[in-house]
Chain A
């Protein structure tokens, strides 16, 4: 079974631009979560989707948004990029109903904002 796939692996953008990151969960997983990882702030929760609905949201500005499609694939969008948005963005999927709902992570998308 394929793991969580994130595309692209690397992105370079300039300030003011917008970017879209994609995440394909493990087959059968309906929950997708996004995290931002930076050296200064560590791993921070962005948002979580389940069955195309946003179930939880972290403390990030409205420039960060996401969505989930009927096939459980998810995208996150960052508009009006700032230098501080440079980070590793991690996506995780989980199978609901397993109790601990273990989250399996993708390899991440490294975003650099110049």
Chain B
């Protein structure tokens, strides 16, 4: 069974600084997708960034980037130039790439990010 592990329950960063959130996963599949979702106090889960396992290039979305290490089964999120609005719970998630089979996401336990002014 696939599992996702986030070992940092809480993190803190100063505004304008850079922070990295860690995520490791376990799977026997060779093709899959990885996601980072953000959940602010409003509870709305918002997709931050996604990575396709067969793509070696790390995904980037503005101030957000990932370090995807497939062999190590590691998928960390780097937030550059942190802003107060980045404060939220961040979830790492895994989805198998079986077309037409399921969209089921497997989530980690989350990392609560605080941004200090």
Contact = CB atoms under 8 A, between A and B. Distances in A.
A105 B39 CA distance: 10
B91 A45 contact: no
A43 B106 CA distance: 8
Nearest to B32: A100
Contacts, number: 58
B44 A105 contact: yes
A22 B44 CA distance: 16
Interface residues of A, number: 26
B38 to A, nearest CB: 11
Q: Is the interface of A mostly helix, strand, loop or mixed?
A: strand
Interface string B102-117: 1111111110000000
A77 interface: no
19 contacts: A31-B103, A33-B103, A43-B91, A43-B105, A45-B104, A45-B106, A48-B102, A48-B103, A48-B104, A56-B101, A58-B104, A96-B100, A100-B33, A100-B52, A103-B103, A104-B47, A105-B37, A106-B44, A107-B43
Interface of A: 31, 33, 35, 42-43, 45, 48, 55-56, 58, 88, 90, 92, 94, 96, 99-108, 110
Interface of B: 33, 35, 37, 42-47, 50, 52, 91, 95, 100-110
